[in-house]
Chains A and B, each alone.
Chain A
Amino acid sequence: MRKKFGDKIEGYIFVLPAVIFMLLLIGYPLIYNIVLSFQNVDLSNLGGGDKSFVGFDNYRNVSGEEAFGISIKNTLIYTFASVIFQVIIGFFLATFFSMKFRLAGFLRGIMMISWLIPMTVTALLFKFIMGSSDGIFNQMLLSFNIINEPIGWLSSPDVALWSVIIANIWVGIPFNMLLLSTGLSGLPQDVYESASLDGASWWQKLVHITIPLLRPVIMVVLMLGFIYTFKVFDIVYVMTGGGPINSTEVLSTLAFRYSFTDFDFSLGAAVANVLFLILFAISLVYLRMIKKDEAI
């Protein structure tokens, strides 16, 4: 064992500033947000004045709004569809690039560009690509005779949510691929060699070796994807603003609209809390999962 290494006060001086910073800027607002959701705060009493306690009124009012139910449904569809496709596509790309051909590392690296570009830029770019009359997406599909008339990617309420999902899948693929690649490179090679000797096909190796061995990594990637996708804001806000007619409204954009378009801060706080509660539950599952893997 080591001798006493440094005294404790010194340790706290190193550690605490960042912790205090996070508690002030995230911890305190988090609690404040819960308080807000039980009050009645709008522009008139924002700076001071009477902020009366209204119990669950905000939650009751919100759950009566049609947009709230729609936004929960949309957030769930958006999250599940995005995560599933990102993981599947990411997985196949990861296995492809794990074949270590000459350009593999370089090509895998530059795919990260889609993840690095600010979401606002991606959203605007896809808005351009998915334009109904002049967008390249429709023009390509029309010229290959895949569709007969232009699709209103962002203008049709039935399609708009899926268009936003497509843009988000594009953003998330490389990141999922990267995490899965790391998992793949950690798999024992001798298992594959003996399977090859036994004459196993590519598909058999995938289903019977790779996926079972990679299960813990896949679970972590799914959970992380869920957590980061569920809080979507920028892509939806810039591409559609929640429209047409609420068809792409998600919890974040709804909370933002209540707070900063209608200036009903308490109503916005209530919606944000619902979002937080769902995420918190998922995060607990995730934390328990990674704690089993290794003591954090």
Chain B
Amino acid sequence: MSNRKNWILSIIGVVIVGAFLFPVYWMIITAFKTQTEIFQTPPTFFPKEFQLDSFITVIQGDVGQYFLNSVIISSLATILVLVLSVPSAYGLARFRIKGVQSMLLVYLVTQMLPATVVLTPLFIVFNNLGLLNTYIAPVLATATLGVPFSVLLLRTFFIGIPKELEEAAKIDGCGRLRAFLQVIVPISLPSIVVCGAISFFFAWGDLIFSITFNRNQDLWPLTAGIFNAVGRYGIEWNNLMAFTTISVLPVIIIFVLLQKHLVEGLVSGSVK
């Protein structure tokens, strides 16, 4: 490709992506504007005076607690997903056991299922078990989003690992479990991290499970807090956008750190 064409295409690309991501830009700069500047006509595309008041306001509110809850729920859900799905994917890839096809089908179907279908029954079950208004309910429920995705993605990956690796470990006197933990898991770490990140995103973005299972606001994650804040902050859009900017931050940081792996992983986990 000629240098000139390269430049032109790059510039067109930047313009397209810039226009596409304009809403995100608008969210972030609104958070730094004053209340009067938000309603100014014509609108300003860069804050005239950069102010942090909105961030201070929402942090003095309960964003801190919501943030902590989101971190707790999403981290526990992610750990649960990995503990369950890494061995399961490995087993489905390596052992000749009965029902592999039907188990894969279970994962494929559950991945497609809408939350609304299981919401009411789970509410009743959690109610009877006394799990409503605890962290446990949303952790269990949001983990169901990550498990099928991770199993399907990791299974494809494990099938691609040569069996000789484990057999060598076995000759060295390793048991099956040790071979799995000391040989397979370390070399699969990049894929496992991708599954962890995606599961974390799934849990981080959940709204419906949290507002249904937790009426206690002290346990709400950021999404539920945002939904509630609409009523509280009304048209104080700078405060609302500071709130949403804070809640998007971890997702963007993780994405930037893992970008290349994530993009590849997303494709293979969704289509397979």
B112 cross-chain contacts in A, Cβ below 8 A: 227-228, 279, 283, 286
Among the listed stretches A79-87, A95-103, A207-215, which one makes contact with chain B, having 4 or more residues with CB under 8 Å of it?
Answer: A95-103
A122 cross-chain contacts in B, Cβ below 8 A: 23
Let me know if B144 and A26 touch, CB within 8 A: yes
The listed residue (A29, A30, A129) touching B125 by CB distance below 8 A is A29
Contact residues, A20-38 vs B (CB, 8 A) = 21-23, 25-30, 32-33, 36
The listed residue (A25, A108, A120, A234) touching B122 by CB distance below 8 A is A25
A28 cross-chain contacts in B, Cβ below 8 A: 121, 125
Let me know if A260 and B23 touch, CB within 8 A: no
Bound-state Cα–Cα, A101 to B14, Å: 12
Let me know if A272 and B119 touch, CB within 8 A: yes
Bound-state Cα–Cα, A134 to B271, Å: 41
Let me know if A256 and B208 touch, CB within 8 A: yes
Bound-state Cα–Cα, A73 to B124, Å: 30
Minimum CB–CB distance from A34 to chain B (whole Å) comes to 9
Minimum CB–CB distance from B184 to chain A (whole Å) comes to 11
A19 at the interface (CB under 8 A from B): yes
B204 at the interface (CB under 8 A from A): yes
B187 at the interface (CB under 8 A from A): no
The listed residue (A15, A182, A252) touching B114 by CB distance below 8 A is A252
B60 cross-chain contacts in A, Cβ below 8 A: none
Beyond A17-B87, A25-B122, A102-B10, is A143–B42 a contact (Cβ under 8 Å)? yes
Minimum CB–CB distance from B8 to chain A (whole Å) comes to 8
A8 cross-chain contacts in B, Cβ below 8 A: 95-97
Q: Which residue of B lies closest to A121 (CB)?
A: B244
Residues of A in contact (CB 8 Å), total: 98
A-contact bits for B207-229, CB 8 A (1 contact / 0 none): 11000100000000011001100
A187 at the interface (CB under 8 A from B): no
Per DSSP, are chain B's interface residues mostly helix, strand or loop, or mixed? Answer: helix
Let me know if B115 and A233 touch, CB within 8 A: yes
Minimum CB–CB distance from A169 to chain B (whole Å) comes to 11
Among the listed stretches B49-57, B99-107, B188-196, which one makes contact with chain A, having 4 or more residues with CB under 8 Å of it?
Answer: B99-107
Beyond A17-B84, A36-B120, is A5–B96 a contact (Cβ under 8 Å)? yes
Let me know if B244 and A124 touch, CB within 8 A: yes
Among the listed stretches A57-65, A110-118, A196-204, which one makes contact with chain B, having 4 or more residues with CB under 8 Å of it?
Answer: A110-118
B178 cross-chain contacts in A, Cβ below 8 A: none
A15 cross-chain contacts in B, Cβ below 8 A: 87-88, 91-92, 95, 97, 103
The listed residue (B5, B84, B208, B271) touching A234 by CB distance below 8 A is B208
Bound-state Cα–Cα, A250 to B248, Å: 27
Minimum CB–CB distance from B216 to chain A (whole Å) comes to 15
B262 cross-chain contacts in A, Cβ below 8 A: 112
Let me know if A120 and B223 touch, CB within 8 A: yes
Let me know if B23 and A126 touch, CB within 8 A: yes
Bound-state Cα–Cα, A22 to B104, Å: 12
A268 at the interface (CB under 8 A from B): yes
B171 at the interface (CB under 8 A from A): no
Minimum CB–CB distance from B122 to chain A (whole Å) comes to 5
Q: Which residue of B lies closest to A271 (CB)?
A: B116
Minimum CB–CB distance from A118 to chain B (whole Å) comes to 4
Bound-state Cα–Cα, A104 to B147, Å: 32
Let me know if B147 and A21 touch, CB within 8 A: yes
Let me know if A233 and B114 touch, CB within 8 A: yes
Q: Which residue of B lies closest to A277 (CB)?
A: B117
Bound-state Cα–Cα, A116 to B170, Å: 41
A55 at the interface (CB under 8 A from B): no
B73 at the interface (CB under 8 A from A): no
Query: Could you jot down 14 A-B contacts, CB within 8 Å?
Result: A5-B96, A6-B176, A21-B84, A21-B147, A28-B125, A29-B117, A114-B21, A118-B223, A124-B226, A124-B244, A136-B26, A139-B43, A178-B263, A233-B207
Interface residues of B (CB under 8 A from A): 1, 5-6, 9-10, 12-14, 16-17, 20-21, 23-24, 26-27, 30, 38-39, 41-43, 84-85, 87-88, 90-92, 94-97, 101, 103-110, 112-125, 127-128, 140-141, 143-144, 147-148, 151, 163, 176, 180, 201, 204-205, 207-208, 212, 222-223, 226-227, 230, 235, 237, 240-241, 244, 247-248, 251-252, 255, 259-260, 262-263, 266-267, 270-272
Interface residues of A (CB under 8 A from B): 2, 5-6, 8, 10-19, 21-23, 25-30, 32-33, 36, 41, 46-47, 93, 96-97, 99-104, 107-114, 116-122, 124-129, 134, 136, 139, 143, 170, 173, 175, 178-179, 182, 220, 224, 227-228, 230-231, 233-234, 237-238, 251-252, 255-256, 259-260, 265, 268-269, 272-273, 275-276, 279, 283, 286-287, 290, 296
10 nearest interchain CB pairs? A11-B95, A14-B91, A231-B114, A15-B91, A18-B88, A29-B121, A118-B205, A101-B9, A32-B121, A29-B118
